[in-house]
Structure 1
Amino acid sequence: MANFLKSLLPARFRSDKIIVPVVRLQGAISAAGGSPLRQGLSFASAAPLLEKAFSIKSAPAVAIAVNSPGGSPVQSRQIFQRIRALADEKDKSVIIFCEDVAASGGYMIAIAGDEIYADPCSIVGSIGVLYAGFGFTEAIDKLGIERRLYTAGENKATLDPFQPVKEDDVERLKSLQLEIHDVFKTMVRERREGKLSDDPELFSGAFWTGNSALSRGLIDGLGDVRSVMREKYGDKVRLKLISASGGLFGRRISPFRNDLSKAGAGFAGGLVQTVEERLLWQRFGL
């Protein structure tokens, strides 16, 4: 009789069900969290989802699917730190699944996992630091535009896209990149201690398929969320996708529509950001 009554309860109330929350972290990483034309990822957008996932007391672990070509190292590191802080606070395992790509900042987030899995065709790695910009010096000359820039501080106009490139500026930028790269490498070595191969290209910014990443110790195995969770917790495991909270009166508000409503004069800036994000994805053939 007890088993019969138990079967009448909704699945989420049955004690024989093991619930594993799943968080999807998708898009190029920036403080803005995307653009009017493309979904993005930021600490601000990821934090509420992570809090919600880790708050499920009965869950033995949190699964996080990462699909990102990278972006801001600061935002990536903040997301990494929040995942680790919640894992320690709630005493839960973190299992990361790399989707199409978990590269650069995407891989920085992935190493927050106690275990990392990928598809054989996933793109993984790119442990390096990238700066990309545009130069408009010839364009403004052709248009007959005079650039007027006034600064206090000799380095205030460093890397101004409307001025010719200066060697001192490039050297200063490289110095900053090396410092950030050192932080990234230290994070990978600490989180993947005893697992990394001695491949000299490991920290060169190179990237690999899931198969090759496995042989280099960048991931722990090949597999998808459902199959790995069933292998770990049995056929009764139930995956619970964590989504953003709804808007007013529970109606979900489209961030795409919101951005367009505020785009106005800033739409051109959003278009440039979209192009930059698209270039990030294209580096990996996506």
Structure 2
Amino acid sequence: MTDSNPSPSVSGDADNAHAPGWERAVLEKLAMATLEEQRRARRWRNAIRVSWLLLVVVLAWIALHRGGTPTDVSKPHTALVEIQGEIASGGEASAELVVSAIRSAFEDEGAQAVVLLINSPGGSPVQAGIINDEIRRLKAQYNKPVYAVVEETCASAAYYVAVAADQIFVDKASVVGSIGVLMDGFGFTGLMDKLGVERRLLTAGENKGFMDPFSPQTEKQRAFAQAMLDQIHQQFIEVVKTGRGDRLKVTPETFSGLFWTGKQAVEMGLADQLGNVDYVAREVVKAEDVIDYSVRDNVAERLVKRFGASIGESAVRALRHMEPLR
């Protein structure tokens, strides 16, 4: 006996898969998905570009509003300017930042005196000279006293700055002095000869490459460099003598580049007496309130200086090529 009922037909996806136009439907779905992915990528790129632009604006605002000067400077106070770390262009103890802070301190009527809080091993004689000259100019213009207070170290270029002050205060264990100039480097000519390495240096000018560590130094070149160092050293000596005057007890070692403890520095006339910032403000200036005028670079400012130009250029380029959101 045969089944009179017909076999059930296959339904569902099998029928749809073979239905007319299914390929078109699939392609449309793929096209719509691709368009949506492109829109998302475009939105993401534009969001990143806007974020970079906002970052540049924020960092620029921080850079323009830097500084440690407080708002209330009308009351009598002691103005403090810190000189910390290496005295060098682009650093926190650069002439640009230190001079800016010192000028602000002198200009405020409430500042009874300016105290330089120094903790520096030295640095550039040029930067130190700029600071020293400006301190002396401002002292004459505003008729305000300047005191230097040494914490750990006041050596070389830092002492070059300190001698512009009317008095120098130190801790008994501070390191003071190092009145000298140096130029250092390395010479690898002997090692190169042993290794069989040939240095190929082309110059236009007989002495253009005389500081090259891979080339030999002639006696004439060495004498030239030494004469330059001696001249800068003599400038340093004159600044110290002018700043310290009769208080300085000159010995054969005074300008030899040696350094001494704070206690020894007082005995030699390199410093005046022991004391810290609080002591100077309270007992010497007679204004116990200490206001910090130091101008400091923070992390954001350093980012502005280091990356600001390239980021700004990228932001402008991004704005020019920004695609509209769809």
What's the TM-score bracket when you normalise by the shorter of the two chains?
A: 0.7 to 0.9
CA deviation vs aligned residue, 1:106-133 (integer Å, no higher than 9, x gap): 1000001011111111100111111112
In the TM superposition, 1:212-227 aligns within 5 A as: 212-227=264-279
| Residue 48 (structure 1) aligned with residue 106 (structure 2) | no
| Residue 244 (structure 1) aligned with residue 277 (structure 2) | no
Tell me the secondary structure at the aligned position of residue 52 of structure 1: helix
* Aligned CA distance change for structure 1 residues 245 and 30 (closer, same or farther; 3 Å): closer
Tell me the secondary structure at the aligned position of residue 46 of structure 1: helix
**RMSD of aligned alpha carbons:** 2.7
The answer on whether the counterparts of 1:18 and 1:233 sit within 8 Å (CA) in structure 2 is: no
CA distance in 2 between counterparts of 1:29 and 1:137 reads 32
* Aligned CA distance change for structure 1 residues 42 and 135 (closer, same or farther; 3 Å): farther
The structure richer in strand per residue is 1
Tell me the secondary structure at the aligned position of residue 245 of structure 2: coil
Percent identical among aligned pairs is 39
Q: How many Å apart are 1:227 and its aligned residue?
A: 1.2
| Residue 129 (structure 1) aligned with residue 181 (structure 2) | yes
> What residue is the counterpart of 2:118 in the other structure?
66
In the TM superposition, 1:1-286 aligns within 5 A as: 12=72, 17-33=75-91, 40-137=92-189, 146-234=198-286, 237-244=288-295, 253-258=299-304, 261=307
CA deviation vs aligned residue, 1:232-279 (integer Å, no higher than 9, x gap): 244x52100113278xxxxx65445456648x9xxxxxxxxxxxxxxx
The answer on whether the counterparts of 2:94 and 2:127 sit within 8 Å (CA) in structure 1 is: yes
The residue type paired with residue 100 of structure 2 is P
CA deviation vs aligned residue, 1:168-216 (integer Å, no higher than 9, x gap): 2221111111111111111111111110113221111110010000000
The residue type paired with residue 105 of structure 2 is A
Tell me the secondary structure at the aligned position of residue 151 of structure 1: coil
Tell me the secondary structure at the aligned position of residue 130 of structure 2: helix
In structure 1, the gaps of 5 or more residues are 1-10, 34-39, 247-251, 265-286
> What residue is the counterpart of 1:280 in the other structure?
none
The structure richer in helix per residue is 2
CA distance in 2 between counterparts of 1:255 and 1:122 reads 32
CA distance in 2 between counterparts of 1:21 and 1:118 reads 18
CA distance in 1 between counterparts of 2:98 and 2:197 reads 42
CA deviation vs aligned residue, 1:58-88 (integer Å, no higher than 9, x gap): 2221111111111211111111111111121
Q: How many Å apart are 1:12 and its aligned residue?
A: 3.9
The residue type paired with residue 66 of structure 1 is I
Tell me the secondary structure at the aligned position of residue 147 of structure 2: strand
Q: How many Å apart are 1:147 and its aligned residue?
A: 3.4
CA distance in 2 between counterparts of 1:47 and 1:142 reads 51
In structure 2, the gaps of 5 or more residues are 1-70, 311-326
Q: TM-score, normalised by structure 1?
A: 0.75
CA distance in 2 between counterparts of 1:96 and 1:78 reads 17
Q: How many Å apart are 1:98 and its aligned residue?
A: 1.3
* Aligned CA distance change for structure 1 residues 144 and 241 (closer, same or farther; 3 Å): farther
Tell me the secondary structure at the aligned position of residue 77 of structure 2: strand
The answer on whether the counterparts of 1:67 and 1:101 sit within 8 Å (CA) in structure 2 is: yes
Tell me the secondary structure at the aligned position of residue 29 of structure 1: coil
Instruction: Tell me the matched-pair count.
Output: 240
